[in-house]
Amino acid sequence: MGKRRIVYRLIGMFIAFALLITVPMTFTILTQVNKIISEEEELKSPESEEYSKIHKEFTSRLVEQVIPYVFYILIMALMLSMLFARKMLVSLKELQRGSKAIMDGDLDIKLQAAGDDELGAVIGAFNEMASSLRQKTIDLQKKDIYVNAMLDPLWVVDEANRVTDINPAFTSLFGYSREEIMGASIFDFFDEHNAAIVRGQLKDRRDRGLSSIYEVNIISRDGSSIPVLISGSPIMTAGEITGKIGIFKDFREQRQLRNELQRSKEYVETVMDSIEDQLLVIDKDFRIVTANKIAFTNSRGPVLGEFCYAAVHDSIRPCWAEGHECPAQTVFLTGANFRTIHQHIGPDGGKRFHEIVASPIKDQSGNVQQVIELLRDVTDRVLHEADIYLKNTELVTLNSISRLLSSSLRADEIFSTVLDRMIELIKMDGGGLFFIDEKKKDMVCHYHKGISDEYVRMIGRIRLGEDIPGKVALTGQIITTSDISTDRRIERSVMKYSGMKGYCCIPVKGKERIIGVFCLFSFKPHTFTVEEESILVSIGEMTGIALENIKLYEKMRELYEHQRQRREQEQAQLLSLTTKLGSATDLRYILGRVMEQVREICSADYSWMLVRGGSDDFLLKASSNPSEDIGRVIFTRGISSIEGYALEKRAPVVITDIRNETKFFIPPEVSGVSYHSALAVPMLIGEKSVGVITLYYLGLREFRDEELHFLRIIANMLAVSLERYDYYIASINEKSLSETILQSVADGIVTVDTGGRILAVNKSFEQMTGISPEAGVGMPLCDTLRYHDENTDLCLILGESLQAALAGNKNNRDAVMMTPRASKISVRISSSPVLGPDNTVTGVATLMRDISREKEIDAMKTEIIRSVSHGFRTPLSAIVGMTEMILEGDIDETKEKQYLSVILSEGMRLSDMVSDLLSIARIESGMERIRPEQFDLKDFLDELLFSLNTAIEKKQASVRYDIGGVSVLYADPGKLKQVMLNIIDNSLTFSDPGCHIDIRVKKSDTDIEIAIQDTGWGIPEEEMPHLKERFFRGRHGEKVKGSGLGLFLCSEILRLHGGGMDIRSVPGQGTGITIHLPHREMP
Amino acid sequence: MKTRTYLPGIALVLGIAVLSYFLSTINASFDPLVISIIIAMLLGNVFARKDYFQDGIEMALKIFLPVGIACYGTQLSVHELQGAQLLSILAVFIGLFGFTLLIARTFNINLKASVLLASGLSVCGATAIAVISPLIGARREDTSIAIISVMMLGLTGMIFFPLVSELLALTKGEFNFLAGTTLPMLGQVKVAAGSVCPECLAEAVRIKLIRMSFLFFLVTAAVFISGREKKTVTVPWFVIVFVLLAVLSNVTNILLQWNEQLKALSSFCLSAGLAALGFTVDFDSIIEEGMVPLGAILFSWGVVMLLMYLVRNLF
């Protein structure tokens, strides 16, 4: 590349040189030469002086022309040299800058290359060098940082063992500063002993180029000796040892730990030796690693290194080989503590028990490395425990028997269970229970176990005193024998040859007598201990007592059952009474029935109930005799009676023999029947006395306390019912009164609870909303009105009103309601809170008044005022305007007359309008009454047409009528005339001259039709619906003056008559109006 | 004592001026000012012990350049400021000055160096630069590079114009106008015109002299521009003398008899002044400037000539 570039440059320079110098120079020389030659040629005489002068000056002139080129070339050379020198200069300056920066320590310098030539390459190399230098410096700095950051002290020493460098950790551990230590000999920091160690290490290892680690003490600056671990290495440079480096590890802590470890070991050994049990540490081969003093003492041979089973148990086989679970093995497998008791044969040949507690010794990763075994001789304890266990079993058995005896009342269960327990307790093979039959003086086996039924039948009945059971039953003493077959005491017994060996017979004793006998046997000889015998006797006694108890219990139970049945009977009677008292409201009937029942319950012959009347007389309230006259006075005030006495005493009074009774007055109803005994029970409610119930008996009768008590209850119950009945009657009366008031109110009233649910509604409400009390009560009020979509707003308003009332505020609101009959009515909702006794709001009473009529009247008034003022304005403005003009006097007479006639006609119109309005007002207010009378129709029509004659002539109209067989009419002739006049006047007014008017009268079954048909202008279809409206004036009305009240008035009058009016019209052809009048005869 | 300090420097400067003067007599195209500055730069950067000459050179700068400028006032003639070509010359002058200034600024050359280049190219080369540079307080390096660049351009023009004239078949009048308006130095005009025809010489020199007279206005303008920069207009004494002498030589004939001497003195003093200036300039700084100024003025010069050629052919 470089060579090619040089060639290109040479070519470029050559071309530039040629273009810039050679071409112009050649041109100049040629020009000058040509010039001189032409000058010479001009002279044409080569020999002339001028010619030779030119010739001579040829060279100098040429030189003169060329000289500037020299200057040009010089300057150009200068410029070119500047051009080339520039790049070199810039590069050199850049290098100079870079060098200076590196000298100043700025290694981040990056030089800019002026080009890609050699100088550029030099600058590139410089940049690389600087970058490499920077990296090396950073590495060195990092190493320096690492060394300084080392927590372990470090020193570097030279070949002569003089310190050449240390790190800050060295200063912080030993206290020597860098300045103090630099150049010092390393042996200055050791005492003689340690110096010798260091020398030895240096000589043996370091000088041979080897590293080593060893422990020495270094003397710190404050004179203390610090134990350290030195890690020393030689520093090799080109294969030669040029120095050493030593890294120190502070060993004070380790040394302290070492000492503590030693102390701990000693402590552990002391503890182990102080334990009274044998303590062994066993490895995985089950060899003893460590043992305490006791273990050594107890062992008859060597301990350490021996198998644990050999050293401890004198066994040649491991424990598991003898069927025991080896604790060491278990702990090695499970890693958990293990406790067990081993039985071994002791040195004396006796059984020995060892309790072994084995615990794992784990390494850091949790693996069991060794096992500690603690062995204790527990032979005494184990034997003792076995004894306790036996006793305990006995106790448990006894306990279970006694629990059974005390808890069970079933004799069968008791005997079979006790027999089983006894067999189990003394490990017998079977047994049986014999019961004594006192009467027959013998015994029969009732329960047995371990022997067949045939054998039992073979034994049959045993007489008292015979065989072993008979003797025991007689004497009450237990008999036991270890082997009945060989027992010489027993000579004759069924059992002797039955294969039984061990045998015992236990008496079952009651309080005073022997009830039966338990017999137990085994097929092996059994020696009965004293304890066993005493236990068996106890069981026999307990069983006897339990048997007696069961019998006693059964007797008690019978008694209790009898009592219970009596109570139930009483309660049933009371219930029946209560039911009767509570089930009906006809007290008289009920009381009669009750007295009858009381009489029956108490087995009396007659009973009555007397109550105190208004003047303290005793009145008959009820009697067991239904034919009695209830309500009559039995005792007047002041008469001494049993009943009076009972009330006074406030306690039942018993008269055993009333025949001989002189103290009390006996009424004839009683004395006449010759009752013997009487019982008067007062009816009391707390302190209040209501009356007395008296029972009479024909025979003599004594009363038990519970009977009296029962009667008192009945009397009090009746008193309460009586009182409640009175209250009930009073409340019914009161409620009935309120109900009547409520139902008679014309407005709808509904009461709701605080949840907005209906409590009661009255009839008006039902009529208004269709909600009956049966359907509505319990329903939310608002929900009941949702039968129509348009009632949504009503529900909202009602809800607000209820809310306000529930908050304690009375309020009135107006709303529109859609009735179930789909008619819209306006209602005023007035809600008031219903307050409870403590003034809390317990509900809301809402009154809904139909104010549709009021609203309608209101609207009607507004409409009348609006239409009247509209109708009056037009004529009045004409009258006022024209009157003003006449008063101003600016008009001629003709005009004035014309105006006055207009004023008159408008005035007349106003007058007509007023009279029409008055008529309408009277009709609408209901003041107008029709006065119907019978009149002749033809006369009526003639008179009518006569009064219209002027108008008919004016229009040149032809009016005809046809009464069609109807001669008389029953109506108000004045009013009907008004109607007819109005209609015919309209026909004339809204017709062209020469029109025809036909009046036809027709009679149907129900009414009379008067049809008036004209040939007038007709009425546009769109105006038809408005014809009967007040002040309506159609399109033709604009041409003709009128009030717009005529047809409205006509329809109102006809409505008063109970009739109506139909209008039909075809524009351009005419209008037909038919009047309907109900067909009436004169009453 | 002081004299001894100044003497070596002043002597050296004077020696260079004398040498330049004699060298310039060899050929009309040799400008003593350019020769002296080049010799001084070569000496100052290659051989001389600067410390030894320093004080004298500084003194020489303070003495010779103002004196040379002041005396140069006599060389300005407004008699020629008339005739039909005046407007054309003025147009070329303005074009050259303005365009050079614009191009130089575009080439990132500093404003003062740009002004020097524009003045040198459009008025009278090294002389104009020498006169203007103290007025606007230009750097010595800028002055040196401007002088050398303008010189190089002038020489190039001088050598190529006859060739161009031949190639484009310019009339003598046209050639005279071209040489007179576009060559920066009088000697170059003379050589170029002389090589074409002897009668052309006078006309081209006349046009060149008209251009030179614009220096008067340029100096005045430079004073005010520099004053505006400094906020206060302080007119140096040599400018006052320059203006005075210019007025005197144009209005009266008093100086006519001393004209040649004053001209020689002015040229000599400017030569010495520039020698002193060249001596103090560091070559490195000039080299660092490189060929940019030359490139800038060559471009502007070429464009103006192209415009002139277009104008000639169109009208």
Q: Per the CB < 8 Å rule, is A71 touching B155?
A: yes
Measuring CA to CA, which residue among B6, B9, B77 is closest to residue B252? B77
Residue A183 CA neighbour count, 13 Å, CB half: 2
Residue A488 CA neighbour count, 13 Å, CB half: 0
Q: Per the CB < 8 Å rule, is B159 touching A65?
A: no
For A61, counting Cβ atoms within 10 Å of its Cβ (0-12 exposed, 13-18 middle, 19+ buried), the class is middle
Q: Does A606 share its domain with A723?
A: yes
DSSP E strands, A346-456: 351-362, 368-377, 430-437, 442-449
Residue labelled with tokens 């410029």: A79
Last residue of some domain: A148, A169, A187? A148
The enclosing H or E element of A814 equals strand A811-818
* Cβ contacts of A998 within 8 Å, gap of 6 or more: A960, A961, A962, A1011, A1012, A1013, A1014
CA dihedral A907, A910, A911, A912 (to 10 degrees): 120
**If you compute the radius of gyration of chain A from its CA atoms, what whole number of angstroms results?**
74
- Nearest by CB to residue A85, choosing from B159, B166, B287, is B287
The answer to whether A721 and A642 are in contact (CB under 8 A) is no
**Residue A111 has what DSSP assignment?**
P
More confident residue, B309 or A1032: B309
Nearest residue on chain B to A82, alpha-carbon basis: B287
Query: What length does chain B have?
Result: 315
Q: Does A926 share its domain with A843?
A: no
- The SS3 of residue A280 is strand
Rounded to the nearest angstrom, the gap between the alpha carbon of residue A202 and the centroid of all alpha carbons in its chain is 84
Residue A15 resides in a domain = no
Domain boundaries defined on chain B: 2-314
Residues of chain A predicted below pLDDT 50: 1
Residues of chain A neighbouring B287 (CB-CB closer than 8 A): 82, 85-86, 89
- Nearest by CB to residue A27, choosing from B26, B149, B163, is B163
Q: Report phi then psi at A151, rounded to 5.
A: -85, -20
CA distance B259 to chain A (A): 28
Measuring CA to CA, which residue among A787, A792, A802, A804 is closest to residue A848? A802
User: CA A121, A122, A127: angle at the middle one, nearest 5?
Assistant: 95
CA distance A6 to chain B (A): 21
Nearest residue on chain A to B147, alpha-carbon basis: A75
pLDDT higher than 70, residue B2: no
Q: Does A985 share its domain with A866?
A: yes
Q: Per the CB < 8 Å rule, is B30 touching A24?
A: no
CA-CA-CA-CA torsion sign (A363, A368, A369, A372): positive
**Residue A1000 has what DSSP assignment?**
E
Query: What length does chain A have?
Result: 1083
Q: Does A154 share its domain with A126?
A: no
Measuring CA to CA, which residue among A540, A527, A525 is closest to residue A419? A540
Give CA separation, A581 vs A576, A619, A630, A718, A890, in Å. 9, 20, 18, 8, 108
Residue A321 CA neighbour count, 13 Å, CB half: 7
Q: Does A868 share its domain with A997?
A: yes
More confident residue, A570 or B57: B57
Query: Rounded distance, CA A1000 to CA A1009, Å?
Result: 8
**Residue A326 has what DSSP assignment?**
P
* Cβ contacts of A774 within 8 Å, gap of 6 or more: none
- Nearest by CB to residue A82, choosing from B158, B166, B286, is B286
Q: Per the CB < 8 Å rule, is A83 touching B195?
A: no
**Residue B45 has what DSSP assignment?**
I
B171-228 per-position pLDDT tens digit: 888 888 888 888 888 888 888 888 777 778 888 888 888 888 888 888 887 777 766 6
Residue A165 resides in a domain = yes
Long-range contacts of B22-29 (CB under 8 A, 24+ apart): B24/B187, B26/A67, B27/A64, B27/A67, B27/A68, B27/A71, B27/B187, B27/B191, B28/B187, B28/B190, B28/B191, B28/B194, B29/A67, B29/A68, B29/A71, B29/B155, B29/B158, B29/B185, B29/B187, B29/B188, B29/B190, B29/B191
- Nearest by CB to residue A24, choosing from B26, B149, B163, is B163
Neighbours of A389 (CB within 10 A): 10
The answer to whether A539 and A401 are in contact (CB under 8 A) is yes
CA distance A32 to chain B (A): 8
Tokens at A745, concatenated: 């109110």
Last residue of some domain: A731, A759, A781? A731
Query: Rounded distance, CA A862 to CA A100, Å?
Result: 114
Q: Does A623 share its domain with A534?
A: no
Please give the pLDDT value at position A687.
Answer: 83
pLDDT higher than 80, residue B77: no
Q: Does A92 share its domain with A190?
A: no
- Nearest by CB to residue B287, choosing from A25, A71, A86, is A86
The answer to whether A125 and A118 are in contact (CB under 8 A) is no
Q: Does A785 share its domain with A700?
A: no
Domain count, chain A: 7
Residues of chain A neighbouring B278 (CB-CB closer than 8 A): none
Give CA separation, A335 vs A327, A359, A376, A733, in Å. 11, 8, 22, 94
Query: Rounded distance, CA A586 to CA A591, Å?
Result: 9
The answer to whether A445 and A433 are in contact (CB under 8 A) is yes
Residue A130 CA neighbour count, 13 Å, CB half: 22
DSSP string spanning B252-272? Answer: -STTGGGHHHHHHHHHHHHHH
Q: Per the CB < 8 Å rule, is A75 touching B152?
A: yes
Please give the pLDDT value at position A114.
Answer: 67
Q: Per the CB < 8 Å rule, is A89 touching B288?
A: yes
Residue A2 resides in a domain = no
Q: Does A1031 share its domain with A934?
A: yes
Nearest residue on chain B to A86, alpha-carbon basis: B287
CA distance B226 to chain A (A): 30
Residue A266 resides in a domain = no
CA distance B255 to chain A (A): 33
Range of the domain at A82: 34-148
Residue B187 CA neighbour count, 13 Å, CB half: 20
- Interface A–B counts its CB contacts (< 8 A) at 68
Query: Rounded distance, CA A48 to CA A430, Å?
Result: 192
Give CA separation, A849 vs A575, A777, A854, A877, B168, in Å. 51, 20, 11, 45, 126
Nearest residue on chain A to B289, alpha-carbon basis: A86
Residue A242 resides in a domain = yes
Question: Could you tell me what percent of chain B has a pLDDT over 90?
Answer: 4
Q: Report phi then psi at A956, rounded to 5.
A: 50, 45
Q: Does A941 share its domain with A1049?
A: yes
pLDDT bin (cut points 50, 70, 90) of residue B49 is: low
Q: Does A249 share its domain with A316?
A: no
Q: Per the CB < 8 Å rule, is A27 touching B162?
A: yes
Query: Rounded distance, CA A848 to CA A782, Å?
Result: 13
Q: Does A588 share its domain with A727?
A: yes
Residues of chain B neighbouring A28 (CB-CB closer than 8 A): 159, 162-163, 195
Q: Per the CB < 8 Å rule, is B148 touching A75?
A: yes
Please give the pLDDT value at position A262.
Answer: 93
Last residue of some domain: A122, A148, A174? A148
Please give the pLDDT value at position A218.
Answer: 92
Residue labelled with tokens 């520099």: B226
Please give the pLDDT value at position A1073.
Answer: 92
